[in-house]
Every structure is written in C-alpha cells, then in structure tokens.
Structure 1
C-alpha cells in the first residue's frame, strides 16, 4: 500500500512540474509578444539639427530610443551595400528617392506599406512599400550677391548661364557618386538633353567647378562664406542660411526649368530592429513628423497633404519643373555615375 501511495505522489509532482513549466512558458511568450521595441538604429540624410530633433520627437512619441549616423544619400547607399550581408541599421531616412529605387533593384530594402502611406500621392511612393516620400525639394542656385555686385555682372538665370567663362572656378557642387542632390542634377540633365548632349554639358560645366563636395547641402554654405560665387543645391538649403543671417546670398530658380526630388524613408533589408522600423515609418508619414524640419530651416515641401508648407518655401511653389523619370534614374544610377566619373577623369588628364 505504501508503495502505491509513493508512486501516486511522484506522478502528481511530475504533473505539477510539467504543468507549471507550460504555464510559465505561455506567460513568457505573452510577455515577449507584448514587449515593445526599445531601440532603433538609422542612417539619416538630413541636417544634423533636424536629425537630432527627429530622434528626440520619435522617442518622446513611442519610447523607442534612436541611434543615428548622418550621411549624404549616396554615402548611405554605399554603406547599405557594404553591409548587405550583415545590416547594422534598420531605417534609411532622407535622400532622393532614386537612390532608394537603386537600392530596391539591388535587393537592399524590405517592403512595408504603412497605413499612413494612404495619405501620400501615388507619384511619391513605391506601390509595394519599398520607400515612401517624406518631403519634396527643388534644385536651384544659391549665389553670393557680393561677387556679382563687385563685378557688375548678371546672376545666372539658366543652366546654360553656368557655362559662362566668368564663372570659371566659381561653382561648387556635390559629387554625383556621393550625393543624391548632385545625382539629380546629372540624371536630370541627361534625361532632358539625351545622354551624349547631357554628358557633354556636364563636361563643359566641369570647367567652371571649383570643388566637388560630399554633401549636397555644402555648396550653399560655400556661397554664404564667399568661397564660391555659385552653389548648386536644393533651394531650401539657401533659404536656411538666409534665415541664419547670411544676408549676402540669394536663391534662384532656373528659368529654363529644374528638377525636384522626393526624399524618402525605407526599411533596410534584414533590419535587426524590424518592429521598431515599422513604427518609425508610420510616424515619419504623419503631419507632426513632417513639420519638424521647419523648426531648423529645412523648408521642404511635405508629402503629407495635411502638413503645412513653410512660408519661406511658398515663393517657389510654382517654379517650372522639367520631366524626370525616377524609375529610369534609379535603375541607371550606377552606370551614369561611372560614365560621369570616367569623363571627368579623362578631362583632367587632358588638362
């Protein structure tokens, strides 16, 4: 009898132990499922002050802490390529959408259609969610007024004006291989004039270039500091420096038309913080998130129709825009940059 009682007790203890383990496992699974992401790493292509504010506001709204590295759009693309097999960041924020198209073609992005993307115009997002537009920016000239006043010469009004001999070594523009801003200029010119004529223009234009920068926003500061007479950049970069007190510069929209870029946000393929990345994309498409840049002189045109257009940018709401095939641009980015690079090298050899 004692033997039977002992066996019963052992069996009961085992059943209790198994049941307890199962209950604990269910509770742990529920806890993990409900646990919110805590951190997010991103590569970001906006000015440093704006990047910091975006990180702060996102953390305040969601509790997710952001670590970011600020780079130009072209640099981000190169970094994402290099880390393809072991991604270090989950979000790519900022930079022209044709860089995102190129990344999509190379399998570097992961699709995610945010519910907030329904508010964004069809032309400013990828239908499969590989990227979604966050703001639009327009290419133009930022000029140092003093240069023109001292020499009593006219400021450039068209792209062809930039080829005038009086502007030799007086133009600063970013390198198309490093900057999405400069690639927009290169691709736009090729699309408008044809490859041969477009590259020929870029070759002639190179004669007047003083410096190719990494950052697409740097040429505006060069004009502001008097390091060059003309900076080729997005016009909102010039508007920001005017607000900062650079009264010597002005911003010009080319009369023969220019090109605009849709800056985007996307999730990097293999994102180590996928859930946090999705939450960020949702947030980045909101009215509140898209109005943050205006606090720091980033006077772009938001893609969310409910977000207000900065007063400083309204004067450029009706500039003439040339046609621009975003998909073609993204698909031919690498070969176009290579052709430009080889052409510039050959030109330097000739000199």
Structure 2
C-alpha cells in the first residue's frame, strides 16, 4: 500500500535549499545579497498547514540573511497549490514550500514558479530533478497507518494490501483525504490506479465506499481528528483506526508525545 513521493521546494539558507514562487525571484535573490538592489526585510513563505519550522531555525535564517520569514499557511498541500494558481498574477508570497511530485505538474503547467537553481543543486541525484523551477528536498512513503491498541484489543491483524482494505473485517475503519486538496490523498489515489489500472481503480473505490471508507478534506482532519491512534485523534475522540498518512508518522508520534513512550502507538501497514 506504499506509494513514493518526492517533496519539492523549500525555504532558503537556514534549511539548505531554495525555490521561489511566481514573480518574486529577483526580490529574494536581491535580499540574499546577490545584487546591489535594496533588500526587503521580510520574505513571505507560503506552505501547507502542516509546515512547522521551529523558531530557532527561522531565527538562524534571520541571523544569516537579515531577513524575517513570515509563514503563511494556505490549507492542505493541494489546496495551497490551487490558491497559488488562482493568485499567480499577484502572488501571496515570495517562496512556496510543499509541492510534491503528485502536484508538481499542476503547479508547473500553471506557471506559478520561476526558474531558480539553489546552491548545491548539482549534488541532487538526477532521478530527483523533476523541474528546474523547483528544488527537491526529501522523499517519503505514503501509506496506511494503524492504531496498534485497537488492533491488539480486537485481536485483528492490520491490513497488508489494498485488497485487504475492502474486506468486511475492516469495514468503517479507514479514513482518507480528498485527493483534490490533499497530497497524501492524491498519492493514495494514484497508488490504487497503479495497482488496478485504468479499467479497475474505479471499481476498487466502489468497494472501498461500500466498505465504509470516510473521506475528509485534509490530512490534518484525517490524522488529528478522525484517526484514533494520534494524539490529536484521542483529543477529538477519533474512531477510525486506519488512516492514509506517511511512514514517518509513527516516529513523529514518539517525538512529540508527553511523556515519550518507549515505542510508537501507531504502525505502518506494508
């Protein structure tokens, strides 16, 4: 049930890589001291709701460049890209962080980025250089996460395949994200297309619907409110023990839990 995604575009010196949105490239280059033009004092970074650079990282960026970063969160990843497309004539910010390979063609075809080569881009493996207008920074797996306690209490094995998710024993357990707005939601949809082909993916989704799959607009809603295994899910009394998320989600649960558990309360289906 895994699908691979490559995250693209990032902040700048403090985070190591840069990609610039719409018609603001020259402003940011000037701000970084690459020309003699006056530098703006603030750079507006547009991203998705899950973007979370620490105050320390942003402060270090300001120390290195003299620029203050203003973060503008614009919804889930797909929603954020759509907003940039709608405002490309008068962009909301200078930099966009968070478009991945599932959304990249939409962004590029609508011309929201200018060409920019980040320092150190020559060290990026060729297979990850998707377009000269964006800088790849990471890769990761989109997959189904599960609530360990739920499956242990029910003495039920977690699902191990797309087919499993449509079986009666997993009825009303899965929450997914709207692929029109969400990057993991779109990645999961594309995974089913790759698995079942043009002739079969719609039939598969009909089976998921009959098996009680729940679709919500964003990853934040799916993971933090509907999923029973996350800290946010517990607070919101989420009752879905299966959620489309990332392979990195279980270790993050350990990182941010208070007190920190010895092992993650969630797992990844293979």
**Quick check: TM above 0.5?**
yes
Quick one: distance in 1 between partners of 2:269 and 2:156? Answer: 18
Residue from 135, 145, 148 that aligns with 1:145: 148
Q: CA deviation at 1:51?
A: 6.1
What residue in structure 1 maps to residue 25 of structure 2? none
> 1:181: Cα distance to partner?
1.1
For residues 123 and 209 of structure 1, what CA distance do their matches in structure 2 show? 38
Query: Hey, what does 1:125 align to over in structure 2?
Result: 129
1:1-351 mapped onto 2 (5 Å cutoff): 33=36, 35-45=38-48, 47-50=50-53, 54-70=57-73, 71-127=75-131, 129-216=132-219, 218-221=221-224, 222-224=227-229, 225=234, 226-245=238-257, 249-254=265-270
Q: How much has 1:196 moved relative to structure 2?
A: 2.4
Q: Is the Cα contact below 8 Å between 1:46 and 1:95 reproduced in 2?
A: no
Q: CA deviation at 1:34?
A: 5.1
Distance 1:53 1:75 in 2: 28
Which residues of structure 1 form unaligned runs of 5+? Answer: 1-31, 255-351
Question: Structure 1 stretches (4+) deviating beyond 6 angstroms?
Answer: none
Question: Over the residues paired in the alignment, what is the CA RMSD in angstroms?
Answer: 2.4
Distance in 2 (CA, whole Å) between partners of 1:95 and 1:53 is: 24
Contact 2:158 2:269 in 1 (8 A): no
Higher helix share: 1
Cα distance between partner residues in 1 of 2:48 and 2:123: 23
Counterparts of 2:60 and 2:203 in 1: how far apart (Å)? 46
SS at match of 1:202: helix
* SS of structure 1 residue aligned to 2:202: helix
Q: Which runs of 5+ in 2 are unaligned?
A: 1-34
What's the secondary structure of 1:177's corresponding residue? coil
Name the TM-score, length of structure 2 as normaliser. 0.73
